[in-house]
Chains A and B, each alone.
Chain A
Amino acid sequence: SQQGEEDPQALSIQEGENATMNCSYKTSINNLQWYRQNSGRGLVHLILIRSNEREKHSGRLRVTLDTSKKSSSLLITASRAADTASYFCATDEVLGAQKLVFGQGTRLTINP
């Protein structure tokens, strides 16, 4: 079965620095989505990148997708303390009801 697996599992940086998180998956996908989760809270949708796209921007977020390597990266520029959260990638299948398969996530800590 396909999986989204994030790397690193935990990342700690200083406020103002850029944070890069990576995700790998195993099978063909329709699209890949990134979500943020504050501790014990809900999943906030950040960005969706389709399988025919290579890069997408939204504010301070930049997502890349390399379908040949089955990998994606999420870059958060000019990080803020409020960006402290867990970040998950989620993939869906080419066929089917488009259930999402989540990775374990990257725990990002922004130090003031």
Chain B
Amino acid sequence: EPEVTQTPSHQVTQMGQEVILRCVPISNHLYFYWYRQILGQKVEFLVSFYNNEISEKSEIFDDQFSVERPDGSNFTLKIRSTKLEDSAMYFCASRGLASGEQYFGPGTRLTVT
């Protein structure tokens, strides 16, 4: 069964460093999303991406964040200068054109020290 994959599973970085989180969505899906979940809190929407551009972003998704689909399979989230408060689990999700189901990857746990 097709699934969303994410790498790495755990990333530890120092404050101020850049990180890139990688995702491979389900191959025939067209909508891609990033969400995050701070420990013990709700899952929060960050950004949605369709047709090679951002279709919606939340207030969290400021200038430090960017997304890219560098090729036909990968979808990345870059945080330019990490802060302590960026420590969270980051989930990638994808959705097909006709269906509403969003399928999530296993997540990348980002720890900023």
Contact = CB atoms under 8 A, between A and B. Distances in A.
Interface of A: 30-31, 33, 35, 40-45, 48, 50, 88, 90, 92, 96-105
Interface in B11-52: 31, 33, 35, 41-45, 48, 50
A33 B101 contact: yes
Contacts of B101: 33, 45, 48
5 contacts: A33-B100, A33-B101, A98-B31, A101-B45, A102-B44
B108 to A, nearest CB: 10
Nearest to B58: A99
B48 A97 contact: yes
B42 A99 contact: no
Interface string B75-90: 0000000000000010
Contact of A104 (B42, B56, B91, B93): B42
A30 B58 CA distance: 19
Contact of A35 (B56, B104, B105): B104
Contacts of B64: none
B95 A98 contact: yes
B39 to A, nearest CB: 9
Contact of B104 (A45, A98, A105): A45
A100 B42 contact: no
B107 A99 contact: no
Task: Sort A-B residue pairs by CB-CB distance and give the 5 closest, nearest first.
Answer: A42-B106, A97-B48, A43-B104, A97-B55, A102-B43
Contacts of A30: 100
B66 interface: no
A43 B106 CA distance: 7
Given A42-B107, A43-B91, A88-B43, A50 B102 contact: no
Contacts of A41: 106-107
B56 A96 contact: yes
A100 B102 contact: yes
Contacts of A88: 43
A99 B33 contact: yes
A39 B100 CA distance: 25
Interface in B95-113: 95, 99-107, 109
